[in-house]
């Protein structure tokens, strides 16, 4: 009798865990997702999808939903100096000219991914609190007293991952001395604001980003500013809209106009981690922020977690219960260097965005030249390499 396909248990129902569950399900693999929150949900903020992940959403049939809920950003996207002088266009396509760049409300993306799964796949109210494994299976225990067993456990439980220490000794995240204010403004409050573009203003030690979400009904803004305060790693601490307005006083009048309409804002402290040398321990592997939290300066946190999920599903699709641990090692080998490059690239780009240059002409030239890096980032398709890695298993 042929050995059976592995059953996969995912801890964490964020963008990474939910996409991986969809990709595994599409490949005919049985999967369960355990999420600590009482209900699947997200904060009021945007996320930016780029061609290197949209091609995988397309593969599993979700591109129409992205087009419906997202807001495509096009060729009018620009970088500006803080006063509004244009610097360069923003790369919004891959090399073939495919304009698959979308702003999405985080809640819309998470709902879209959760609703696409078979009923009963996601179990909320389950906070993972323990893990053990032997040669035959892996077991997860939860704070509510429940326990579950699987052939493979995927830790998609974010930057504070409970499961990461079962793979690699605990380490502290790196604080980058800046905080992002963010939120959403209804387009009806600034009706002449364009809804077809991603725009960023760059100044000394700070930068400001906007893009549309929810088919252009809402505008997402993020204001990155320096801070001495070593904030708790939170995605959603309340912020003061007046302090935010003060931070960008004297910048392009368009920013002032948008910020006048901000009534509620959240603060998000910027942390990442050094690339991990190991993601896998036998039947347990890390995915998304649990493996590689990164700074947002390439907009790749969610996109890389989607690449992870597609690679994992492609490789596990060729494995059975016995070869599953080898498949996890192949997944890790395929992903680690690509993601480490993006982690490092996000740090470098943050220096450009915060204008850490004595000569702004050099910064502007680098911003212009960065389009080539973006093309390579967006051209990448993880599936052919994952198929080759999976082929080596059999």
Ligand X SMILES: Cc1cc2nc3c(=O)[nH]c(=O)nc-3n(C[C@H](O)[C@H](O)[C@H](O)COP(=O)(O)OP(=O)(O)OC[C@H]3O[C@@H](n4cnc5c(N)ncnc54)[C@H](O)[C@@H]3O)c2cc1C
Among 288, 309, 317, 350, binds ligand X (CB under 6 A): 288
Q: Does 36 bind ligand X (CB under 6 A)?
A: yes
Q: Does 305 bind ligand X (CB under 6 A)?
A: yes
SS (H, E, C) the chain: CCCCCCCEEEECCCHHHHHHHHHHHHCCCCEEEECCCCCCCCCCCEEEECHHHHHHHHHCCCHHHHHHHCEECCCCCEEEECCCCEEEECCCCCCCCCCCCEEEEHHHHHHHHHHCCCCCCEECCCCEEEEEECCCCEEEEECCCCEEEECEEEECCCCCCCCHHHCCCCCCCEEEEEEEEEEEEEHHHCCCCCCCCCEEEEECCEEEEEEEEHHHCEEEEEEEEECCCCCCCCCCEEECHHHHHHHCCCCCHHHHHHHHCCCCEEEEEEEECCCCCCCEECCEEECHHHCCCCCHHHCCHHHHHHHHHHHHHHHHCCCCCCCHHHHHHHHHHHHHHHHHHHHHHHHHHHHHHCCCCCCHHHHHHHHHHHHHHHHHHHHCCHHHHHHHHHHCCC
Which lies closer to ligand X via its Cβ, residue 293 or residue 325?
293
Q: Does 212 bind ligand X (CB under 6 A)?
A: no
Least distance from C-beta 339 to ligand X, angstroms? 11
Least distance from C-beta 160 to ligand X, angstroms? 6
Q: Which stretch binds ligand X (CB under 6 A): 151-159, 190-198, 208-216, 372-380?
A: 151-159
Phi/psi of residue 11, nearest 5 degrees: -100, 115
Which lies closer to ligand X via its Cβ, residue 50 or residue 77?
50
Q: Which stretch binds ligand X (CB under 6 A): 21-29, 70-78, 97-105, 295-303?
A: 295-303
Which lies closer to ligand X via its Cβ, residue 156 or residue 334?
156
Q: Which stretch binds ligand X (CB under 6 A): 35-43, 203-211, 245-253, 272-280?
A: 35-43
Among 24, 65, 156, 262, binds ligand X (CB under 6 A): 156
- Binding to ligand X by CB under 6 A, coded x per residue (else -) over 103-132, reads ------------------------xx----
What is the distance, to the nearest Å, from the Cα of residue 369 to the centroid of all Cα atoms in its chain? Answer: 24
- Binding to ligand X by CB under 6 A, coded x per residue (else -) over 218-247, reads -----------------xx-----------
Which residues have a Cβ under 8 Å from the Cβ of 241 and sit 6 or more positions away?
259, 262, 263, 264, 265
CB 384 within 8 Å of CB 238:
no
Which lies closer to ligand X via its Cβ, residue 301 or residue 325?
301
* Cross-strand partners of 123: 34
Which lies closer to ligand X via its Cβ, residue 45 or residue 202?
45
Among 8, 10, 15, 122, binds ligand X (CB under 6 A): 15
Q: Binders of ligand X: how many residues, by CB under 6 A?
A: 29
- Binding to ligand X by CB under 6 A, coded x per residue (else -) over 244-283, reads ----------------------------------------
Q: State the Cα–Cα distance between residues 111 and 42, nearest whole angstrom.
A: 9
Q: Does 157 bind ligand X (CB under 6 A)?
A: yes
Least distance from C-beta 11 to ligand X, angstroms? 5
Q: Which stretch binds ligand X (CB under 6 A): 88-96, 204-212, 301-309, 324-332?
A: 301-309
Which lies closer to ligand X via its Cβ, residue 202 or residue 342?
342
Q: Does 340 bind ligand X (CB under 6 A)?
A: no
Among 103, 223, 296, 325, binds ligand X (CB under 6 A): 296
Binding site for ligand X (CB under 6 A): 11-17, 34-37, 43, 45, 127-128, 156-158, 162, 235-236, 288-290, 296, 299, 301-302, 305
């Amino acid at each position: 009798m042929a050995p059976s396909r592995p059953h996969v248990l995912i801890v964490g129902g964020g963008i990474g865990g939910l996409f991986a569950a969809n990709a595994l399900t599409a490949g005919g693999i049985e999967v369960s997702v355990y999420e600590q929150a009482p209900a699947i949900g997200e904060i009021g903020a945007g996320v930016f999808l780029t061609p290197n992940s949209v091609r995988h959403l397309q593969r599993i049939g979700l591109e129409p939903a992205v087009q419906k809920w997202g807001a495509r950003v096009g060729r009018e996207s620009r970088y500006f100096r803080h006063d509004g002088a244009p610097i360069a266009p923003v790369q919004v396509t891959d090399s073939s000219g495919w304009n698959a760049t979308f702003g999405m409300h985080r809640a819309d993306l998470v709902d879209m991914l959760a609703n696409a799964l078979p009923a009963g796949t996601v179990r909320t109210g389950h906070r993972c609190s323990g893990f053990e494994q032997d040669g035959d299976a892996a077991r997860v225990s939860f704070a509510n007293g429940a326990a579950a067993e699987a052939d493979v456990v995927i830790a998609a439980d974010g930057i504070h991952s409970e499961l990461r220490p079962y793979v690699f000794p605990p380490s502290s995240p790196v604080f980058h001395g800046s905080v992002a204010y963010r939120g959403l403004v209804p387009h009806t409050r600034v009706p002449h604001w364009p809804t077809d573009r991603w725009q960023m203003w760059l100044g000394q030690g700070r930068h400001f980003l906007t893009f549309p979400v929810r088919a252009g009904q809402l505008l997402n803004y993020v204001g990155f500013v320096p801070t001495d305060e070593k904030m708790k790693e939170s995605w959603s601490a309340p912020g003061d809209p007046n302090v935010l307005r003060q931070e960008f006083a004297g910048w392009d009048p368009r920013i002032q106009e948008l910020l006048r309409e901000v009534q509620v804002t959240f603060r998000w402290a910027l942390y990442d981690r050094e690339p991990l040398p190991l993601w896998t321990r036998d039947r347990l592997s890390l995915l998304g922020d649990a493996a590689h939290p990164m700074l947002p300066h390439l907009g790749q946190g969610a996109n890389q977690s989607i690449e992870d999920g597609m690679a994992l599903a492609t490789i596990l699709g060729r494995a059975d219960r016995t070869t599953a641990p080898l498949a996890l090692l192949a997944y890790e080998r395929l992903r680690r260097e690509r993601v480490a490059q993006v982690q490092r690239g996000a740090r470098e780009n943050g220096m450009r965005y915060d204008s850490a240059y004595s000569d702004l002409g050099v910064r502007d030239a680098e911003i212009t030249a960065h389009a080539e890096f973006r093309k390579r980032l967006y051209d990448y398709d993880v599936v052919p390499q994952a198929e080759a890695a999976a082929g080596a298993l059999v």
